[in-house]
Amino acid sequence: MGCAASASSSASAPSDATQPKIRNNENPAVEEKVCIVGSGNWGSAVARICGQNTTADVKFNSTVNMWVFEEVVEEKKLSEIINTTHENVKYLPGVTLPSNVVAVPDLAEAVKGATILVFVLPHQFLPKILPTVKENLAPGAKAISLIKGIDFDDHGLVLISNVIREGLGIDVSVLMGANVANDVAKDEFCESTIGYGIRANGVLFQQLFHRSSFQVNIIEDVAGVELCGALKNVVAVGAGFCDGLDLGSNTKAAIMRIGLSEMKIFCDKLYSGVKPDTFFESCGMADLITTCYGGRNRKCAEAFARSNGERSWEMIEEELLGGQKLQGTLTANEVHKVLLRKGLLQEFPLFTKIYAISFEGAPVGSICHLNTSESSDLVVTTL
Ligand SMILES: NC(=O)c1ccc[n+]([C@@H]2O[C@H](COP(=O)([O-])OP(=O)(O)OC[C@H]3O[C@@H](n4cnc5c(N)ncnc54)[C@H](O)[C@@H]3O)[C@@H](O)[C@H]2O)c1
């Protein structure tokens, strides 16, 4: 069991409901019905939270559909395993899901009637599934994205929440934070941040996710929350390089500070309206810390550094992540394209260095050769 503290997060944060809920059988139409679109490591952990909260709060229909990209695990369909054992044995082994979380392998069936869509899958799979979601969209549906990543098109940077908003024509909030799925699933105390555009939806999503061990704060800053969630994965790759080089905590702290600074400059240059306070929420500083010490991006980057760049990212991902997807290198690549196009590479020495090490054969040790001092009078000697 984890430790559950009571933090002063946002006003009106709901507490875990302990009373049995009274169903509104006369007017079930007022109920919000939840579908989790995705069932990986984080998808399964949040399905557990949503399943617990929907049984306790009358405004939600108890049943939570969880769309499962079907695969065969030890000769059985994963969706059938989940529905009989209440465990996602592949992506969140050892954790029992509430029985009201129902795995549905057919996407159209999973989203039918859902007024709340929780998108939580690696972003590369999103374009393929959105048309089916749109065809089956319920009236009044709204979405929240838990996806950490960014996209890129001919005009530049595209937020994943925008891809969903434009693909479905509905309001989209985001939830990001220092939330390593396995620890959240053990009810270890942590915080998370919801960025909303429409306050009523932000409040509704807070009620869906908030628990005493998962304190959810809400702020009106979709782009800021989302960009923090995506960009910290790039910094985590740099932190993993430090670990692979057996460097101590001073260097990692420097990489994290420079990384946070570049995250903020990136937001300021590419997005108007990102709030400075967002960087002090769970989605900012806290997520950066947890990702640079734990998490899959750091782990894979450490392995890359230890192999001296001889093992490809694909090999490392397959070997270390057991079907999970590496996000940090994908985002580093997308960020690099944006910076290159805008002529901004020089203003982002860390992001540029992480890209060069990851994809251009630069030595891993060059992560330490950064000149981030603002004084132009300094003579810089390289180690
Ligand atoms: N795991 C965490 O601790 C964590 C925490 C916060 C946010 N996130 C973010 O949540 C998002 C989802 O991550 P996750 O950890 O739940 O996933 P994951 O990496 O554990 O699992 C991969 C998922 O992709 C699915 N998949 C594989 N091939 C597919 C295809 N062709 N089409 C559709 N789906 C396919 C798999 O079935 C599986 O559900 C990511 O953006 C991640 O950055 C993860």
- The tens digit of pLDDT for each residue in 151-165 reads 878 777 899 999 999
Average pLDDT value for residue range 214-243: 97
Q: What is the pLDDT of residue 145?
A: 98
pLDDT-derived band at 26 (thresholds 50, 70, 90) equals very low
Of 28-42, 328-342, 366-380, the one with minimum mean pLDDT is: 366-380
Q: Whose CA is nearest to atom 4 of ligand 1?
A: 42
- Of 177, 141, 179, 147, give the one whose Cα is nearest residue 161: 147
> How far apart, in Å, do the first and last CA atoms of the chain sit?
46
pLDDT higher than 80, residue 91? yes
- Looking at every residue in the chain, the average pLDDT score rounds to 90
Q: Is the CB of 278 under 6 A from ligand 1?
A: no
Strands 60-67 and 101-104: parallel
Nearest Cα to Cα of residue 292 among 231, 221, 376, 209:
231
**Cα 66–chain centre separation:** 17
* pLDDT confidence of residue 325: 81
pLDDT of 12? 43
Ligand 1 within 6 A of CB of 146: yes
Residue 213's Cα: distance from chain center in Å?
Answer: 18
Residue type, 169: G
Six-digit token pair at 247? 């460097």
* pLDDT at res. 295: 86
Contacts of 45 (CB under 8 A, 6+ apart): 92, 95, 179, 181, 182, 184, 185
pLDDT tens-digit readout, 290-300: 999 988 999 99
Ranges 43-57, 191-205, 242-256, 323-337: which has the least confidence = 323-337
Per the listing, tokens 């998370």 go with 192
pLDDT the model gives residue 124: 87
Element (H, E) at 224: helix 222-244
Cβ(304) to ligand 1 under 6 A?
no
Residues of the chain with CATH 3.40.50.720: 28-220
Distance CA 273, CA 23 (A): 41
Q: Is the CB of 69 under 6 A from ligand 1?
A: yes
Token output for 259: 């990384």
- The token duo for 284 is 């900012």
Q: Cα–Cα distance between 43 and 270 in angstroms, integer? A: 29
CA 47 to centroid of ligand 1, rounded, Å: 13
Residue-level pLDDT at 347:
95
* Predicted local confidence at residue 10, as pLDDT: 43
Per DSSP, the chain holds a count of helices (H) and strands (E) of 14, 12
Positions of CATH 1.10.1040.10 in the chain: 229-368
Cα(142) to centroid(ligand 1), Å: 21
Angle (nearest 5°) at CA 169 between 165 and 173: 40
Query: Residue 371's pLDDT is what?
Result: 77
For 183-220, give the DSSP string: HHTTT--EEEEEE-SSHHHHHHHHHHH-BTTEEEEEES
Residue pair 184/47 in contact (Cβ under 8 Å)? The answer is no
Fold classification of 229-368 (topology level): N-(1-d-carboxylethyl)-l-norvaline Dehydrogenase; domain 2 (1.10.1040)
Report pTM: 0.89
Side by side, the strands of the sheet bearing 142-145 are: 101-104, 60-67, 32-37, 116-119, 142-145, 172-176, 190-195, 214-219
- Ligand 1 centre distance from Cα of residue 50 (Å): 17
pLDDT number for residue 322: 83
* 378 band by pLDDT with thresholds 50, 70 and 90: low
36, 37, 42, best to mutate for ligand 1 pocket (most atoms within 8 Å of CB): 42
pLDDT at position 18 is: 45
What residue owns the CA closest to ligand 1's atom 32? 125
Query: 90: CA distance to ligand 1 center in Å?
Result: 12
Average confidence (pLDDT) over 72-79: 96
DSSP 3-state of 235:
helix
Residue nearest to atom 17 of ligand 1 (CA): 40
Select from 39, 41, 179, 209 the residue to mutate for testing ligand 1; criterion: most ligand atoms less than 8 Å from CB: 41
Q: Ligand 1, closest atom to CA 123?
A: 41
Site to probe by mutation for ligand 1, drawn from 325, 327, 329, 330 as the one with most ligand atoms within 8 Å of Cβ, is 325
328 lines ligand 1 (CB under 6 A): no
In 10 A of CB 249, how many CB atoms?
Answer: 10
- Distance between Cα 121 and ligand 1 center (Å): 4
Query: Mean per-residue pLDDT for 321-326?
Result: 84
Q: Where do we find the tokens 């939806």?
A: 201
Report yes or no: 227 and 220 within 8 Å, Cβ to Cβ: no
Is the CATH code 3.40.50.720 the one for domain 28-220?
yes
On the question of pLDDT at 7 being above 50, the answer is no
Q: Any catalytic annotation for residue 33?
A: no
- Catalytic member of 232, 252, 264, 299: 232
Nearest to 37 by CA among 135, 140, 139, 109: 109
